[in-house]
Amino acid sequence: MWKAILLPTKSNFVLWANALFLLLLLAFKLADPLTIVFAYFLETIVIGIIHLAKLALVSKYGKKSTDPNAQLTGIPLMLFFTVHYGMFVAIQSIFAFTLFQGSVPGIKDGFYLLHNYTYLLSSAGMPLILASIFINNLSYFYTNFIKNEKYKEYAPDNIMMKPYVRIFIQQFVVILAFFFFMLSNDGYVAAILLILFRLFIDLVLFSIKKDGRMLELLSKKIAKSPEEYSKIEKQLQEYSE
């Protein structure tokens, strides 16, 4: 099972290409290791932007909500998500910048959000790395949401909170990489571990796609009874968003 998930294939080529691209930047010293760590932190914003496109698609082509309290859809829902997600990112950023303060020159107190984001975006190699990460996310968005028409299966309120699970995993990996940096005082070790951890997570999530063989196998392995199979399959599919 793990062999099928982790080995490079035509369908997961972009994930492997992104990881190898970042490793090559490190190998040839074309980017600072901590720039790559911070780029993955900034990926939170990229995921939020793509999720706005998901909300637009689901609002137009998805199912109608069965919850009478879930009245927002379309642009009002997208505006609500922007404010809600923006507050989440701001709080997360304050925590992360406070964590990195003192260890990375140029990072000020966590509440200096504008200064800290300006500093990160101006880091050498950051535009190139962010472009790579953006392409990676767009590819995942297309193959796991548009190509298989998954947007037709959700009501707007069903998908509203989906990116938060993925963001939690992503930021946990970034913070874990930071602790490796603190322990080893070696940015290259932290960056390499982060790239490999993220590649592993992305490959697992990518394999759990609609009508995929791996989704079927994992659902059968986790489900304790035939009655639980459909429920588990749906939950795994939702977690892959």
Are both 98 and 192 inside the same structural domain? yes
Segment 92-113 mean pLDDT = 84
Q: What percent of the chain has pLDDT over 90?
A: 27
pLDDT attached to residue 239:
62
**Closest Cα to residue 142, out of 33, 229, 50?**
50
Are 81 and 199 in a shared domain? Answer: yes
Mean pLDDT of the chain: 84
**Do residues 96 and 215 share a domain?**
no
Helices 33-61 and 74-100: crossing angle in degrees, nearest 10, is: 160
38-95 pLDDT per residue, tens: 898 889 999 999 999 999 999 999 988 776 666 778 889 999 999 999 998 898 889 8
Long-range Cβ pairs for the range 91-100 (8 Å, 24+): 92/44, 92/167, 92/171, 93/117, 96/41, 96/171, 96/174, 96/175, 99/175, 99/178, 100/178
The mean pLDDT of 111-135, rounded to a whole number, is 91
Same domain, 50 and 128: yes
Give the pLDDT confidence score for residue 194 in this predicted structure. 87
The answer to whether residue 136 sits within a structural domain is yes
> At residue 215, does pLDDT exceed 90?
no
Residues 216 and 194 in one domain: no
Q: Which of 5-9, 13-17, 100-104, 149-153 has the lowest mean pLDDT?
A: 100-104
Q: Are residues 96 and 79 in the same domain?
A: yes
Contact indicator for 62, 160 with CB cutoff of 8 Å: no
73-87, 138-152, 226-240: lowest mean pLDDT where?
226-240
Position 218 in a domain:
yes
Query: In this predicted model, what pLDDT tens digit does every residue of 153-211 receive, in sequence order?
Result: 888 888 888 888 778 777 777 777 777 777 776 778 888 988 998 899 888 888 776 55
Q: Structural domain of residue 105, as residue ranges? A: 33-207
In a domain, 5, yes or no: no
Residues 215 and 175 in one domain: no
104 plus 191 within the same structural domain: yes
| Of residues 215 and 76, more confidently modeled | 76
| Cα dihedral 160, 114, 195, 125 sign | positive
Residue 131 is assigned to a structural domain of this protein? yes
What pLDDT is attached to residue 212? 63
Domain count within the chain: 2
